[in-house]
A and B are shown apart, each in its own frame.
Chain A
Amino acid sequence: MKIIVALKQVPARDSQLKVAPSGKWIDESDLTFEINEPDAYALEEALQLKEKHGGEVIVLCAGPERAASSIREALAKGADRAIHIEEDDLGAYDTLALARVLAKAAETEKPDLVLTGLQSDDLGSGQTGVVMAELMGLPHATIIMQVELAGAGLRVKRELEDGWFQFAGMPLPALLTIQSGINKLRYATLMGIKKAKSKEIRRLTAADLGVPPRSTVTVAGIFAPPRMKQTQILDGSPREAAAKLVEKLKFEARVI
């Protein structure tokens, strides 16, 4: 089975973000970057499927030069080769423009399965995988918690709300967006890191793919949400006020 894993490099999860002087993006100078967490689970799922059923895992990543370190990590964990679409200002890309680039690169490989995280930890639109599937004309399923081969197709488990799950059968080729926690992430072993040095990374630009990096979205500015303080006086008898307070703590503040 030929599996493509689309992964994104994002700022490490507990980073302290600062707005860049341009006011249009975050200041990346002091940040450390890592593989977007749900994408790391997608990679792990792909590696486990390959270990069970054989085949090839190809990493697909669009991002600036620094994203190469995340690609290398994926190769060290066991992916066979990688495609790096090197573009500097993907921050300005909207989901559609990014998905067009990824879909175009993925199509040339004719994969049996495309996996990606259900959303990115930075922008979090949750759309890239789904739009890619539409552009590639593939069936897709989102928020996947389990993947099994079933005959010529797949049986997947989707996470719904409130502890409910949905099981669905689907044909191959297909695209799945993976939920964090679906499996247990492996470490890159030292042997894997050494092997990764000789694995192929194909470098392309959006222009090479014939997809001009044209965004339909313009970022006017970004800002940290302003801190807001609100004071409410709860009137009534102490008993009534306490009941209101408990209700507010439960359902508005959600702290109890």
Chain B
Amino acid sequence: MASYRGFDYLEIDTLFNEEERLVRQTARQFVEQKVIPVIKECYNEGRFPKDLIPQMAGLGFLGANLEGYGCAGMSNVEYGLIMQELERGDSGLRSFVSVQGALVMYPIFAYGSESQKQKWLPRLQSGEAIGCFGLTEPGFGSNPGGMTTRAEERGAEWILNGEKTWITNGTVADVAIVWARTSGGIRGFLVERGTPGFTSSDIHGKLSMRASVTSSLVLSDCRIPAANLLPEAIGLKAALGCLSQARFGIGWGVLGAAMDCLETARQYTVMRKQFDDRPIASHQLVQEKLAWMATEITKGQLLAIQCGRLKDKKKLLPAHISMLKRNNVAMALECARLSRDLLGANGIIDDYPIMRHMCNLETVKTYEGTDHIHTLVIGERVTGVPAYK
């Protein structure tokens, strides 16, 4: 079978420079050679492919768009292309890299003290340490500002109490970025594995993101040194700043899943014959679905590239990212559903990646700001009127 070449209907490649294409090639080859051969089994067994961590770290995938501390210093477009290729492999793998880079390394990089950066960033970049991000609570998802986790300052310590859930990498993390309410508002803290009063457990029964670790964290009179407060992580907007980084990666990542679905459906419908021994790709109803996917993926690519270029110029707004995340995730999910349809019964079998992508994308639609919440962010930007309540 021909090797995977992504999807490029509109000479989108001419919008990328040589380095960007080279970065994509590295990520694409890595996924083709190391991820595709193992991911089906990992997904079926509900296991994260942790052997891939040192390899991804060695290639520079972790915290790739950060500068210094061993990070690769990639542009945001290059970072986006890495996410795209990783998610072509599996959303769970991309989630791991997103969380490590955008939700753990980024807040330490952006809000941490120099000694916190020196301590954690090189270890997180090399994959020697793994991190997780604790914002969501059982009672507070779309409305994180209502969080009930509290932190009290007592002498040279902070005492944390509360519960966090839907935490990617929770049980495998060496350090958790935990957001908690203090007398001075919401703040971000570094909570290290093994700290008394800090426990984590995995969420079982997931029918989506099965190749990813998802956990709950419990903080029960958990005492951490005052030095573990992230000095610049002040207010909910600091937490949302991390989510903007991660959502940007998602907006690119899902393009990879969508391309994989389209390419799978395209190959299948060209080979599969029904009625007079003709390929089903010759039927108009089939072509309509393929044409829709081709068009929407192309539009999604343009959206992602423009957001990437804006981000590199430091002009990308959270409301822009909402459009990128919302549009591309919904589009990718629809591509997965249409592709499943085109493969008929074969579409539900794990010989093909489609059903796995589809199940994963249901999660992606919800996490990091639900489709609905991003709609309201765009609505507020367009009208000037917030409509959250």
Complex: chain B residue closest to A72, CB-CB? B18
Residue of B5, B58, B73, B82 touching A194 (CB-CB under 8 A) = B73
Contact A194 B72 (CB under 8 A): yes
Contact A73 B74 (CB under 8 A): no
Residues of B1-29 at the interface with A, using a CB-CB cut-off of 8 Å, are 2-3, 5, 18-19, 21-23, 25-26, 29
A127 → chain B closest CB, angstroms:
28
Residues of A11-37 at the interface with B, using a CB-CB cut-off of 8 Å, are 12-14, 32
Interface residues on A, range: 10 to 19
A6 → chain B closest CB, angstroms:
21
Residues of A51-77 at the interface with B, using a CB-CB cut-off of 8 Å, are 68-69, 72-73, 76
Contact B72 A191 (CB under 8 A): yes
Contact B5 A193 (CB under 8 A): no
In the bound assembly, the distance between CA atoms of A188 and B30 in angstroms comes to: 10
B189 contacts chain A at the CB level, 8 A cutoff? no
Q: A32-B5, A73-B25, A187-B26 are in contact. Are A194 and B18 (CB under 8 A)?
A: no
Q: Collect the chain A residues with CB atoms within 8 Å of residue B23's CB.
A: 190, 193
A86-107 vs B: 1/0 string, CB under 8 Å? Answer: 0000000000000000000000
In the bound assembly, the distance between CA atoms of A198 and B190 in angstroms comes to: 37
Q: A14-B2, A187-B30 are in contact. Are A193 and B58 (CB under 8 A)?
A: no
Residues of A184-224 at the interface with B, using a CB-CB cut-off of 8 Å, are 187-191, 193-194, 196-197
Residue of A12, A14, A191 touching B60 (CB-CB under 8 A) = A191
Q: Collect the chain B residues with CB atoms within 8 Å of residue A73's CB.
A: 22, 25
Q: Collect the chain B residues with CB atoms within 8 Å of residue A193's CB.
A: 19, 22-23, 26
Q: A68-B18, A72-B19, A194-B73 are in contact. Are A188 and B25 (CB under 8 A)?
A: yes
Q: Collect the chain A residues with CB atoms within 8 Å of residue B29's CB.
A: 187
A248 → chain B closest CB, angstroms:
29
In the bound assembly, the distance between CA atoms of A117 and B133 in angstroms comes to: 48
Residue of B22, B58, B59, B82 touching A69 (CB-CB under 8 A) = B22
Q: Collect the chain B residues with CB atoms within 8 Å of residue A32's CB.
A: 5
Specify the main secondary structure of chain B where it touches its partner: helix
Contact A190 B18 (CB under 8 A): no
Q: Collect the chain A residues with CB atoms within 8 Å of residue B21's CB.
A: 69
B61 contacts chain A at the CB level, 8 A cutoff? yes
Q: A69-B21, A197-B19 are in contact. Are A190 and B26 (CB under 8 A)?
A: yes
Q: Collect the chain A residues with CB atoms within 8 Å of residue B281's CB.
A: none
Q: Collect the chain A residues with CB atoms within 8 Å of residue B25's CB.
A: 73, 188
Residues of B83-133 at the interface with A, using a CB-CB cut-off of 8 Å, are none
Q: Collect the chain B residues with CB atoms within 8 Å of residue A194's CB.
A: 19, 72-74
Residue of B2, B3, B5, B60 touching A190 (CB-CB under 8 A) = B60
Contact A187 B22 (CB under 8 A): no
B368 contacts chain A at the CB level, 8 A cutoff? no
Complex: chain B residue closest to A187, CB-CB? B26
B33 → chain A closest CB, angstroms:
9
**Residue among A13, A193, A197 facing the most chain B CB atoms (10 A cut-off):** A193
In the bound assembly, the distance between CA atoms of A194 and B64 in angstroms comes to: 11
B84 → chain A closest CB, angstroms:
14
Q: A14-B2, A73-B25 are in contact. Are A189 and B18 (CB under 8 A)?
A: no
Contact B30 A190 (CB under 8 A): no
Q: Collect the chain A residues with CB atoms within 8 Å of residue B5's CB.
A: 32
A31 → chain B closest CB, angstroms:
11
Q: A14-B3, A193-B23 are in contact. Are A187 and B59 (CB under 8 A)?
A: yes
Q: A32-B5, A194-B72 are in contact. Are A189 and B22 (CB under 8 A)?
A: no
Residue of B19, B59, B73 touching A189 (CB-CB under 8 A) = B59
**Residue among A12, A13, A69 facing the most chain B CB atoms (10 A cut-off):** A69
B260 contacts chain A at the CB level, 8 A cutoff? no
Residues of B160-219 at the interface with A, using a CB-CB cut-off of 8 Å, are none
In the bound assembly, the distance between CA atoms of A194 and B18 in angstroms comes to: 11
Contact A72 B22 (CB under 8 A): yes
Given pairs A187-B29, A193-B22, A193-B26, 11 additional interface contacts (CB within 8 A): A69-B22, A72-B18, A72-B19, A73-B25, A187-B59, A189-B26, A190-B26, A190-B61, A191-B72, A194-B74, A196-B19
Partner-B contacts on A (CB < 8 A): 12-14, 32, 68-69, 72-73, 76, 187-191, 193-194, 196-197
23 examples of A-B residue contacts, CB within 8 angstroms: A14-B3, A69-B18, A69-B21, A72-B18, A76-B22, A187-B26, A187-B30, A188-B22, A188-B25, A189-B26, A189-B58, A189-B59, A190-B23, A190-B59, A190-B61, A190-B64, A190-B72, A191-B72, A193-B19, A193-B23, A194-B19, A194-B72, A197-B19
**In the complex, the 7 A-B pairs of residues with the closest C-beta atoms, listed nearest first:** A190-B60, A190-B72, A14-B2, A187-B26, A189-B59, A188-B26, A191-B60
